[in-house]
Structure 1
Amino acid sequence: MKRSLFILAIISFISVIALPVKAIETRCGWLRNPTPANWYLKDGDGTWVISMQGGYQAEGMDNLPSDEKEYVKTNGYYGYGCACLNVSTDSNRMRITMIQGGEALPLSTCREDSNLPKE
């Protein structure tokens, strides 16, 4: 009896501390970096915060794709491109929580996508 209660207690403890697994989704749209440390992805669902200077930062920022040829500079080095990102999100807060990877796309891909806002 004591052994069964002990095992039940261990199983309960493990289920309490187990973290939910966040699903990876692919989101495509305008990858914006208008100023230092401020990154956003604008897709058909809205604007997703990736990082904010002096504040929030998604895990995996090093996994953001880049393509110098397909990047529009609007503020010195800063600007925007088109990309698909493999991410976990917090849809209630419109935040990307983790970036697993991604791919830079030609600007024409986003320009021709009627589901995306115009840049």
Structure 2
Amino acid sequence: MKLKWLIPAIISSFSIAIAPAKATETRCGWLQNPTPANWFLKDKDDNWLISAQGGYQARGMDNLPPFKDDEYVKTNVNYGYGCACLNVVTNKNLRRIIAIRGGEQLPLSTCRKDPNLPKNP
């Protein structure tokens, strides 16, 4: 009787172990932090949710690149936006970044000159 329950558990564990990992992709655009704990990346495809205050938060938030003051636009005291490329795992259906593996800040001029990005984030 116990064996009947053990076999499905072993098969289930094995299938999880061999499932393919989600691929990391590089997304570049406006990295926005308009208010506390609210983060978005606006790239050529969409506006990706990274974090919402009191709710959703992508794994790896500590991997967001720090911004230099001269390449960061403050729009709300210490909050604002900059230009960045992030190495992320996404959920395209929900337009969410689910994991941040790393990234780098880019000059503001990079995003401003990109014809695929909005001029004002």
TM norm structure 2 = 0.86
Quick one: distance in 1 between partners of 2:12 and 2:84? Answer: 42
Name the counterpart of 1:73.
74
In the TM superposition, structure 1's runs of 4+ consecutive aligned residues that sit over 4 Å from their partners are 9-13, 16-19
1:101 aligns with 2:98: no
Equivalents in 2 of 1:28, 1:112: separation in Å?
A: 13
In 1: Cα distance, 2:64 partner to 2:49 partner: 13
Q: CA RMSD in A?
A: 2.1
Flag structure 2 segments of 5+ consecutive residues without an equivalent: 1-5
Q: Which amino acid aligns with 2:90?
A: T
> How many angstroms apart in 1 are the aligned matches of 2:60 and 2:94?
18
Matched residues in 2 for 1:12 and 1:95: separation? 27
Cα displacement string for residues 33-89 of structure 1 (whole angstroms, at most 9, x for unaligned residues) = 000000000000010000000000000000000222210000000000000000000
Q: How many angstroms apart in 2 are the aligned matches of 1:12 and 1:63?
A: 32
Tell which deviates more after alignment, 17-26 or 73-82.
17-26
Structure 1 regions of 5+ residues with no counterpart? Answer: 1-5
Task: Quote the sequence identity (%).
Answer: 69
Q: CA shift at 1:11, angstroms?
A: 5.2
Q: CA deviation at 1:20?
A: 3.7
Matched with 2:3 is: none
CA change 1:11–1:84 in 2 (3 A) is: same
Identify the residue that residue 29 of structure 2 maps to in structure 1: 29
